[in-house]
Each structure stands twice: as C-alpha cells, then as structure tokens.
C-alpha cells in the first residue's frame, strides 16, 4: 500500500443542537496522489465529511466529535484550521462567498500572504496558478465581474497558491453550466496526473466521477461502500437506492439483462455491436409519430415573443431578435450557458422584465400594458433559490401569501393551500417552520406558494439545482403531474438529462439569441450545434445518437429493441 | 447590479498613495469644520471639487444625486432650528442662521464628495493597507474591507428577492406608510437569512485560506510614497495650517450668531 494522505478512524460527529449523528462511524484511508469522489444523497453527510479534512469540523463548526482524522501524520484535533490550511486546501460550492478581494491577482495572493510567503515568491505563484487555470488575461479584473465558472477557477487557483498537498472540493460545479463544469473538470484532470496532490471531491454528477480513482458512497453518515469506479458504477440499483444517479449506459444494459456492463459511450457502442440487438425501425417511427401529434397546435400560442430585445440599464444587451411561440399544455426547456440570457428571457414571460424593443404577448395581451401584478396571476415564477422568497414562520402562511395579496377570501385560501401542498407532496406540513426543511423541502414550499395563486403557466428557474438525484426525479415528476393536469410548464436548467427526460420542446439560447429550437429529440440529435453553445447531451443520448437514432432515456430505447 | 464606487481608470488622483488620499480626506474635514461662514468654505470647496474633477469621479456624485438633494433641502431648513441671529428674515429663519445652515450643508455635501473622491480612486485593498500602514491593526482593517465588500453582494440579493416577491403579487408602491413598512418584511427576512448563510461560508473560506495563521503577514500590494505624494501633502498641509491660522485670528465666524 502506498503512503497515506488521510486516515480517518471511526469518525462520529453530531452538530450542536441536533440529535442525529451527521457522521456515524466512518473509517477511510486515502493514499497520496489519489482522486477520491464522495457521493450520496442530500444530507447524507458528504459536506460534513469534507469539512473534517481541514479541521473546519470540529474547530469552526462546533459539535460532538469522536474518532480521529489524521492528515499527513497530524491529527486535525490538535491544530487550528489556519494551520492546517497550508496542507489542505478547500473549494466550496458557493463561489461568491469564498472570494474576498477586488482584484484577481490579490485574490490569489491572499493565502500565501497569510503564511508570510516572501513577496517575490507570491508573484511567482500568482503567475503560475493563474496560468494553470487559464485566467492570466483576467489578472486585473474584479472577481465579481467574472462568470461563475471563472470564479470557481479563481477559487481553485487561490487555493493552489498555498501549495496544498490535499485539495478538497465540495460540489465545485453544482451551480455551473455544462461547459464551465467541463473547464473545472479539465483542471481536476490535470491535477490528477500530478502525484504531489491528493484530490477529494464531493460530486453529484456521476458522469464526471468517471475521472476518479475511487468512489466512496455515503448514506446517513455511514460509509456504505468504497471501491474503484469500474466496480461501483456498475452497481446500478445500489446507486439509485442511495440517491445517486446511475449512468444511463450501464442502466440500459443492466435492464436488458446483459451481464458485462459498459460504462462510457464508446464502451457502450462496442458492447451493443457484440450483442447483435437491433433497433426496430417500425417502433422508432411510431415514437416519432406520437411526438408529431403532440407538437401540432391549431390554437393561439399562450406566449408570443416578437423581435424581443432587452438591454440592461448598464448598456449590456442581453437578448436580441427573439421570436418564439409557446402553446398551452407544453413542457418547454430553455437551456444555454451561464450568462446566455436564458433567465432574462424567462423573466420576460411573466413581465418581471419588459422588452426594451419588440413585444411579448401573454394570451394575446402585451406585457408592457399588463405589468407583473396582472401577468403574475396567470404566470407563476419559481426562483432558483427558495431562500430568496421564504419569510414566513409557518409553511401555511408562506403558501397563503400570494392568494392573500390578491384578496382571495380566507376560506378559498385555505382550500388552495391544501391543494398546493398536496400537489408538491407536503400535506401535513402546514404548521412546520419552512426554514427547518431541507433544500428540496424549501424548494417545494416555493413551488406550492406559486401554485396557490393558480397560474395557468409555471416557470421554474433551475428547479433541480442543489437537489440529489432522487429529489430531482421527484421534483420533475411533480412538475410533469402538474402538466398532466393542464399547466403549461417552462423551465430553465443546466441538467441535460432533466431536459432529455422531461421536456417536449427545447429552446437553446446563445449570446441572447435562439440558436436552436424544436422537439427535445430534434435538438439532442444535433450534437455539433449544441457543442457550439457549450452544451452536450447526456452520455446515454450521445450513445444512441452514435447508433443512428436519438433516444432520450434507457426505457425508451428498451421499448424499441429487437433481440435476434 | 454593481454599487462598488471604485472607478477603474488611471488619473493623477488614482496614482496617489492610499495614505495620501486618506490624509487628504482628513485634512478636508479639518479645514471644513473650522468655519461658520460659507464664504470661507468656498475656497476649500473649490479644492475638493478640483480633486473630484481630476479623479473623474463626478459619475459617482451623479449616482447619489437624489440623496444629496434630499440632504441639501432638509439640512438647509433644519440647521435654522439650531441657531438664531439678529437680522430676522421670516418664520424661524434669520440671516445669520441661514448663513450658518448653508455652511453646515456645504460641510455635509463636501464631506460626502471628499469621501467619494477617496472611494472612487482607491481600491478596497489599498484603502485597508493604507489604514494599516497608518497604524490600524490588520484585523480591524480587514473587517472594514469585508463590510465594504458585502455591500454589492447584499444589494444584488435585495434585487433578486424583490423580483421574487413582486412576481408573487407584492406591490411595494401603494398603501399608507405603515402598510408599506409591513410590506418590506417579505423582503427583509430573506435578505437577512441569505446574508447569514453567505457569511457562514465566508468565515469558513477565510479560515481555510490561513487567515490569522501567523503573527506576521506579507502584503503583496506594494505601497510607496512618491514625489507626487509629498508634493500633494505639502500643499494640502499648508492649506490646512493656513486655515487654522485664519481661524485662530477669529476670521470665518458669523457675527451675531447664537447656536443652541
């Protein structure tokens, strides 16, 4: 066995004021130069574990701790966080909160400055690390003017400048679009090849864990399994049970009863050819015909954008020449890179923003004339972060807020709150404090509070960000149910598999314009154009594209397979 | 949304050392409080406005014009209540108290402009480093810079939160004052909570970067007083001494003014 970087022995931790153990007897050895990914459901203890590596637990976040965390021979209990910082760097998910400076260079300098590194040496490290993450050109910019992906790269550079031997990353890419994610993973991959640094990452996206050496699966603060990625990622059922998204390709072959499971698209194609299975042309055509039926409309569109343009007061042109129609009863996804204008577009649909040129019509009425109060009655908008709207002490009052503002009588309010809670699966939570719920619970409260106004259309901005796989599924299943009951749904997202499995139509936005639109299948078939807007379909869709047909989920493909 | 006041341009004032600019700010204050008579304040006002023009910082003054207007109107009226004179004009206003009000108003406006000159031309880090070099402990300096840094973060979350609540039907523009105050609760609580959550990560990130690991610390930012700093300080120092001298000779006061 090679030299150990970290050794955790029977670690238990309970947050102050909580009854449940957040970590419950974890023992784990990590060798030098290794890349370990920690996965598991929300609240499983992943971030808690990540905070143990550099002593944030128990020194910063207090609670009852038992067991040992030995980092490079030092017990974290015996030294402070700043002392450990020289050895262990950590990058957080929230890229705003971890940057302190008004200038990129000074941000990188901050860590070494604290360790009294000589000035010339700091200059050298700034040079080296900005180059490493590809931010040399931005050295004099203010960090808050950078994009999300660039901020996260800067956070990594600023940690690397302290020359840590262990780098911990707590969901570094959760809030990033696919291409920015890729940028971070490229850096991770470069780092992985260096044997002087041990990488530990908490990660949600299974496709990205493929680069790691080992995966540790965590549930309820316990280590369920740890092993090489090839072994763990084949355990499709175990992953699903733990709230971790299994890869589409092994899932497909597993459901088909094939014994030797491939992981990547390339492996998948090789294996597929070996099986001798066939995709039925007839069934595939049936699939397409069914879709055509859904896509036909003879009614008037509920949303019409005509030559929509939006220029922000600071002169930045966010949208140009947008023409789009959205019909009643559709589920539409709006996708694009961070800063492409997709949220700006969505905000035009409920009059939160008004066009600076062109028109937006809702049900044939101009948003400019109606305003957000009136349009808001028809079009509900669920913001990305539920904490940006929740303020009541009781779930009931939070959901009743919208209807009450609109002068709905109390009896009717009561009825609507009950219905909304039922729709989001929170019946019985009326008297709970919304702030005590998990992120996914708070997200549901936010959706319910919009539903209670009984809008015809629901717009959701990043409804699945920050949720684990199980929660993402149940959130989107709920959205689909609402659609079945007649609501028109529009959602903005970075999660391509969510688009693949839930959207009927997709608008791809790039630089404030619609680059591509059509049914989800049509859009995902055009991988080259998607690439140009920095998006890529999930592995599984890519795999089926290589086989000449576009399938959006393993189940769809299974229904079209003919065995010889 | 960006409400950082620093202007990233290159001007004579930008190139001055942070310490010089802080001292200029203090000198302005010292010179301004000496006089009761607006006529004596006028030359100092011109110097401060000259500094503003050289720094091309008028944009920032323009940004807060409404605040300044409100301050001007209320201040010109209010100070009359705290002073009286011998030449009665109307209501509670005497010629002397009016002059005094004008002087106080100029003091307030000029201090804001002078402060804006400092913030428009000095980076957060330079400001803090300058304060430390002038004798402030590092941790205090860092605390100041952190609170400055929080301003844009909080203002952008206020913007998002007000959009979220407006789309739920909250109308902040109608109703009596009491009703309107009540309407701000759905804004304030989320702002408060999300700020607290952000601060927690901020604290963790800070310690994880070795904040306070050692007694000594390097400052990457270089700060050196150049010839232009000494010239500026010599000139402004001379102005202040001259003002002190005039004041010592009892000029610049308003005859017949009684302050309460």
Q: Which of chain B's residues have a Cβ under 8 Å away from the Cβ of A401?
A: 168, 186
Average pLDDT over residues A176-204: 86
What per-residue confidence (pLDDT) applies to B128? 85
User: C-alpha A191: how far from its chain's center?
Assistant: 23
Q: Residue A348's closest chain B neighbor by CA? A: B167
What per-residue confidence (pLDDT) applies to A362? 95
What is the CB-side half-sphere exposure of residue B234 using CA atoms within 13 A?
7
Confidence of residue A438 (pLDDT cuts 50, 70, 90): confident
* Contact predicate A253/A261, CB 8 Å: yes
Q: What is the pLDDT of residues B119-135, one digit of tens each?
A: 999 988 888 889 989 99
In angstroms, rounded to a whole number, what is the distance separating the alpha carbons of residues A340 and A550? 26
Percentage of residues in chain A having pLDDT higher than 90: 70
Q: Rounding to the nearest 10 degrees, give the CA dihedral for residues A470, A475, A479, A480.
A: 10
Q: Which of chain B's residues have a Cβ under 8 Å away from the Cβ of A453?
A: 168-169
Paired strand residues for A198: A166
Strands A505-510 and A331-336: parallel
What per-residue confidence (pLDDT) applies to B1? 38
Mutate to test the interface with A, among B124, B164, B171, B222 (most CBs of A within 10 A): B164
Average pLDDT over residues A460-483: 90
Average pLDDT over residues B175-190: 85
Confidence of residue A543 (pLDDT cuts 50, 70, 90): very high
Average pLDDT over residues A249-270: 94
Contact B220 A119 (CB under 8 A): yes
Q: What is the pTM of this model?
A: 0.84
Contact B209 A85 (CB under 8 A): yes
| pLDDT above 50 for A443 | yes
Distance from CA of B140 to the nearest CA of A (A): 15
| pLDDT above 50 for B214 | yes
Average pLDDT over residues A478-501: 93
Lowest-pLDDT choice from A390-404, A439-453, A484-498, B246-260: B246-260
| pLDDT above 80 for A455 | yes
Average pLDDT over residues A554-561: 93
* Predicted ipTM of the assembly: 0.81
| pLDDT above 90 for B80 | no
| pLDDT above 60 for A555 | yes
Q: What is the pLDDT of residues A296-310, one digit of tens each?
A: 777 889 999 999 999
Mean pLDDT of chain A: 91
Confidence of residue B3 (pLDDT cuts 50, 70, 90): low
Contact A110 B209 (CB under 8 A): yes
Q: Residue A155's closest chain B neighbor by CA? A: B205
Strands B83-84 and B258-259: antiparallel
Looking at per-residue confidence, does A177 or A171 come out higher?
Answer: A171
Q: What is the pLDDT of residues B66-75, one digit of tens each?
A: 889 999 999 9
What per-residue confidence (pLDDT) applies to A235? 93
Q: Which of chain B's residues have a Cβ under 8 Å away from the Cβ of A387?
A: 190, 193-194, 197
Burial A156-176 (b: 16+ CB within 10 A, else e): bbbbbbbbbbbbbbbbbbbbb
Average pLDDT over residues A434-460: 91
Q: What is the pLDDT of residues A369-390, one digit of tens each?
A: 998 989 988 999 999 889 888 9
In angstroms, rounded to a whole number, what is the distance separating the alpha carbons of residues B27 and B48? 11
| 3-class SS of residue A170 | strand
Percentage of residues in chain A having pLDDT higher than 70: 99
Average pLDDT over residues B106-130: 91
What per-residue confidence (pLDDT) applies to B152? 74
| pLDDT above 90 for B153 | no
Q: What is the pLDDT of residues B25-45, one digit of tens each?
A: 999 999 999 998 999 999 999
Residues 6+ apart with CB under 8 A from A35: A188, A192, A198, A199, A201, A211, A212, A213, A214
What is the CB-side half-sphere exposure of residue B201 using CA atoms within 13 A?
17
Confidence of residue A95 (pLDDT cuts 50, 70, 90): confident
Q: Return the residue matching tokens 């949208």.
A: A319
Contact A380 B201 (CB under 8 A): no
Residues 6+ apart with CB under 8 A from A38: A46, A49, A50, A200, A201, A202, A203, A215, A216, A218
């Amino acid at each position: 066995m090679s030299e150990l970087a970290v050794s955790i022995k029977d670690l238990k931790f309970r947050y102050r004021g909580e009854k449940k153990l957040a970590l419950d007897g974890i023992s784990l050895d990590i060798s030098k130069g290794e890349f370990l990914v920690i996965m598991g459901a929300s609240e499983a203890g992943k971030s808690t574990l990540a905070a143990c590596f550099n002593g944030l637990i128990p020194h910063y976040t207090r609670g009852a701790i038992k067991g040992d965390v030995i980092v490079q021979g030092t017990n974290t209990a015996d030294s402070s966080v700043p002392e450990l910082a020289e050895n262990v760097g950590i990058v957080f998910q929230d890229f705003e909160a971890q940057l302190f400076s008004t200038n990129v260079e000074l941000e990188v300098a901050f860590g070494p400055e604290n360790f009294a590194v000589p000035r010339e040496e700091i200059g050298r490290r700034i040079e080296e690390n900005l180059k490493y993450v590809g931010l040399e050109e931005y050295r004099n910019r203010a960090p808050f003017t950078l994009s999300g992906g660039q901020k996260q790269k800067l956070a990594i550079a600023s940690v690397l400048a302290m020359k840590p031997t262990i780098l911990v990353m707590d969901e570094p890419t959760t809030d990033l679009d696919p291409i920015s994610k890729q940028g971070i993973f490229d850096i991770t991959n470069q780092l992985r090849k260096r044997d002087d640094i041990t990488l530990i990452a908490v990660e949600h996206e299974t496709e990205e864990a493929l680069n790691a050496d080992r995966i540790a699966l965590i549930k309820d603060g316990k280590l369920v399994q740890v092993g090489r990625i090839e072994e763990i990622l084949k355990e499709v059922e175990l992953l699903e049970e733990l709230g971790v998204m299994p890869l589409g390709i092994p899932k497909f072959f597993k459901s088909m009863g094939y014994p030797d499971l491939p992981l990547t698209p390339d492996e998948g194609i090789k294996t597929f050819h070996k099986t001798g299975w066939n995709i039925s042309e007839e069934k595939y055509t049936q699939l397409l015909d069914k879709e055509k039926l859904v896509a036909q409309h003879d009614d008037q569109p509920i949303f019409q954008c005509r030559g929509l343009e939006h220029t922000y007061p600071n002169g930045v042109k966010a949208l140009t020449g947008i023409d789009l129609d959205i019909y009643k009863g559709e589920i539409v996804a709006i996708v694009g890179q961070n800063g492409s204008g997709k949220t700006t577009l969505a905000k035009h649909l409920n009059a939160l923003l008004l066009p600076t040129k062109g028109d937006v019509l809702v049900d044939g009425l101009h948003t400019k004339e109606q305003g957000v109060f009136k349009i808001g009655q028809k079009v509900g908008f669920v913001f990305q972060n539920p904490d940006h709207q929740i303020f009541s002490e009781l779930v009931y009052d939070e959901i009743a807020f919208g209807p009450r503002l609109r002068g709905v009588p109390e009896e009717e309010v009561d009825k609507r709150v009950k219905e909304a809670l039922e729709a989001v699966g929170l019946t019985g939570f009326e008297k709970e404090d919304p702030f005590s719920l998990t992120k996914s619970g708070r997200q549901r409260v936010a959706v319910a509070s919009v539903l209670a106004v009984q809008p015809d259309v629901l717009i959701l901005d990043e409804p699945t960000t920050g949720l684990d796989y199980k929660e993402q599924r149940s959130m989107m299943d709920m959205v689909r149910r609402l659609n079945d009951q007649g609501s028109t749904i529009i959602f903005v997202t970075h999660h391509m598999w969510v688009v693949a499995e839930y959207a009927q139509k997709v608008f791809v936005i790039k630089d404030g314009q619609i680059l591509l639109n059509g049914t989800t299948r049509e859009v995902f078939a055009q991988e080259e154009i998607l690439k140009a807007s920095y998006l890529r379909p999930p592995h599984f869709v890519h795999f089926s594209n290589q086989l000449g047909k576009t399938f959006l989920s393993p189940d769809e493909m299974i229904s079209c397979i003919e065995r010889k | 949304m960006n409400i950082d006041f620093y202007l990233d341009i290159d001007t004579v004032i930008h190139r001055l050392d942070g310490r010089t600019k802080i001292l200029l700010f203090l000198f302005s204050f010292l010179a301004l409080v000496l006089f009761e008579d607006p006529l004596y304040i006028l030359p100092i006002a011109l110097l401060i406005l000259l500094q503003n023009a050289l720094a091309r910082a008028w944009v920032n003054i323009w940004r807060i014009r409404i605040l300044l207007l409100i301050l001007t109107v209320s201040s010109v009226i209010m100070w009359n209540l705290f002073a009286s004179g011998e030449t009665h004009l109307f209501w509670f206003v005497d010629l002397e108290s009016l002059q005094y009000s004008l002087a106080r108003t100029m003091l307030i406006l000029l201090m804001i402009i002078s402060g804006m000159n400092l913030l428009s031309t000095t980076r957060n880090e330079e400001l803090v480093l300058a304060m430390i070099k002038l004798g402030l402990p590092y941790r205090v300096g860092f605390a100041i810079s952190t609170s400055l840094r929080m301003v844009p973060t909080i203002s952008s979350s206020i913007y998002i939160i007000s959009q979220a609540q407006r789309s739920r039907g909250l109308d902040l523009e109608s109703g009596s004052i009491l009703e309107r105050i009540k309407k701000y609760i759905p804004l304030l609580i989320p702002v408060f909570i999300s700020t607290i959550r952000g601060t927690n990560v901020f604290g963790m990130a800070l310690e994880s970067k070795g904040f306070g690991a050692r007694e000594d610390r390097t400052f990457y930012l270089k700060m050196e007083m150049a010839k232009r700093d000494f010239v500026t300080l010599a000139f402004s120092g001379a102005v202040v001494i001259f003002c002190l001298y005039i004041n010592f000779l009892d000029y610049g006061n308003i005859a017949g003014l009684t302050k309460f």
